[in-house]
Amino acid sequence: MTRFQLSPLFFSVRLPTMLAMFWRRHIGRAAISGVSRKDSLSFIIFRLDALGDVVMTTPLFRALKTTYPESRCTVVVQEQYKPLLVTNPHIDEILTLPRIRPAWLPRGVRRLLSATLLYWTRVRRRHFDFVISPRWDVDEHLATFLCVLTHASRRVGYSENTSAAKRLINRGFDGAYNICLPAGPVRHEILRNRAIAEVLGATALDGRLEIHLTERDRRKAAKVLANMPASTKLIALGIGANSPGRCWPLQRFADVIAELSKQHAVQPLIVCSSPELGKALQLASLLPRPPIILSGAGLREVCAVLERCELFLGNDSGAAHLAAAMDCKVIAISRHPLDGDPNHCNSPVRFAPQCAQLRVLQPPTGLEDCREGCSVFGPHCITSISVDRVVAAARTLLNEQPTSIRMRSQPWPDPAAHQLLLHSHSPQGIRRAVETVRPDIAQPLAPA
């Protein structure tokens, strides 16, 4: 990373964290020595990063609550991920970062203000036995900052020496923790979360992902899919990702569906966030059959729909982890080269979805200068994954028997019908999406 890239993180992450450590050590209330009785421990876990990270931490929540059933577990996540956890029986309380509205403020400043406000309004007067930051890699979300500020007997987290980037960006953060875990071997993030549970004496250490749906969630999914015939194979397409370089070209998704449609009755279903609606409409225009578009829906509603899908085909993204948690068959398309650094932030060794029937497709090697991992902004190494490879993997999975009984939808009286499901889109959002497909359209939409 360049100095220019590091400077914002220095002022928005490292400097505030180091100041918090100084305050805790010399000015703030000292930590209470010792912890509560074993059956009444209190935990607070800061999981402030991405959707996939939250999903992969659910085994940690279960391990702590199962081992210490009388304990109280508080989890802090980004606001948009709260619905995914509110039904989790192993979590007693969920806190979210307050929104800082002024868009003109730099993102790092908004994040710092949000973390400080959370501490001041929700955490400042409380005491916990253990405060935990499960993040193994670079802390860019101020989890360590909040761990230091929180009154706790023990602070648990991974060492600053896990990676070269973390040693640079999070230098000095080891002083924040009483229990500082070493980097350990190259392994999946679920196992790294499990290592934290082991340190805390937890014994229920299986890695099963856990998302609890309600009957209302399933009724919503049944309504969405009410018209799909039982013989049709519902294939979810996850077209989004955190960066453009992790997105497989839309035309290739369309080509895969076209090939699969030659052997199966396929109903494509596009899963995307609200900002990705324009891409979903682009893909819809390329598909041989009108798709269902699930855009901007609630996370548990998305999970309830994925529970009914025969296959999820998509980029390395949070949606793939949701599909895996629902025991859907998953094909994950990764831009990380097979011979790249296994500890890279895009490596499937660390972040592959975890389910019984999974195929992870990677480029055999990096293109041009992408030795350890692909770092090009747009689609680059991921373009090495051909349509034929994905079609072959999809056919194999579609022909495999599922490992569990899957939810099915009711028969569809009109096989030619289709549904477009758009959730919570403002007129401006829809206009932006339409302009993505038709830039020549400039007239404003009528108010909703």
> pLDDT above 70 covers what percent of the chain?
86
pLDDT at 358: 97
Higher pLDDT, residue 437 or 331: 331
pLDDT of residue 435: 59
DSSP state, residue 1? -
Helix (H) or strand (E) holding 124: none
For residues 40 and 70, the answer to whether their CB atoms sit within 8 Å is yes
pLDDT for residue 28: 74
Structure tokens at 58: 């659910």
Q: Is the pLDDT at 128 greater than 80, yes or no?
A: yes
pLDDT at 8: 80
Question: What backbone phi and psi angles, to 5 degrees, belong to 270?
Answer: -95, 125
Q: What are phi and psi of 303, to 5 degrees?
A: -60, -40
pLDDT digits (tens, 9 = 90+) for 423-436: 545 556 655 655 55
Predicted confidence at residue 36, as pLDDT, reads: 55
**Residue 275 parent element (H or E):** none
Q: Report the pLDDT averaged over residues 195-215.
A: 93
392-404 pLDDT per residue, tens: 999 999 998 876 5
pLDDT, greater one: 443 or 231: 231
**pLDDT band, very low/low/confident/very high, at 442 (cuts 50, 70, 90):** very low
Q: Is 293 or 404 the better-scoring residue by pLDDT?
A: 293
| Predicted pLDDT of residue 428 | 60
| pLDDT of 330 strictly over 60 | yes
Residue 316 near residue 346 (C-beta atoms within 8 A) = yes
How confident is the model at residue 145, as a pLDDT?
98
**CB-CB neighbours of 185 under 10 Å:** 9
Confidence at residue 415, expressed as pLDDT on a 0 to 100 scale: 36
Give me the pLDDT at residue 429, please: 62
pLDDT digits (tens, 9 = 90+) for 16-68: 999 999 999 888 765 555 555 555 899 999 999 999 999 999 999 999 999 99
Give residue 203's pLDDT band: very low, low, confident or very high (50, 70, 90): confident
Q: Using one digit for the tens of pLDDT, what is the confidence trace for 78-121?
A: 999 999 999 999 999 999 999 998 888 999 999 999 999 999 99
- Pick the closest to residue 240 from 267, 202, 278 (CA basis): 278
Q: What pLDDT band is residue 448 in, cutting at 50, 70 and 90?
A: very low
The answer to whether residue 446 scores a pLDDT higher than 80 is no
Q: Which residues contact 185 (CB under 8 A, 6 or more apart)?
A: none
Residue 420: HSE in the Cβ half-sphere, 13 Å Cα cutoff: 8
92 residue type, one letter? D
Which domains, ranges and CATH numbers included, belong to the chain?
Answer: 3-199 (3.40.50.2000), 215-437 (3.40.50.2000)
| Closest C-alpha to 238, from 269, 271, 268, 287 | 271
With beta carbons less than 8 A apart as the criterion, state whether 71 and 64 touch: yes
pLDDT tens, position by position, 243-275: 999 999 999 999 999 999 999 999 999 999 999
> What does the radius of gyration of the chain's CA atoms come to, in whole angstroms?
23
Please compute, for residue 423, the number of CA atoms within 13 A of its CA located in the half-sphere on the CB side. Answer: 17
What is the model's pLDDT at position 417? 37
Amino acid identity at 393: A
180 touches 135 (CB < 8 A): no
Residue 437 pLDDT? 55
* Residue 26, pLDDT score: 86
Report pLDDT for 277. 95
Contact status, residue 155 vs residue 148, Cβ threshold 8 Å: yes
Q: Write down the pLDDT at residue 40.
A: 86
Confidence of residue 205 (pLDDT cuts 50, 70, 90): confident
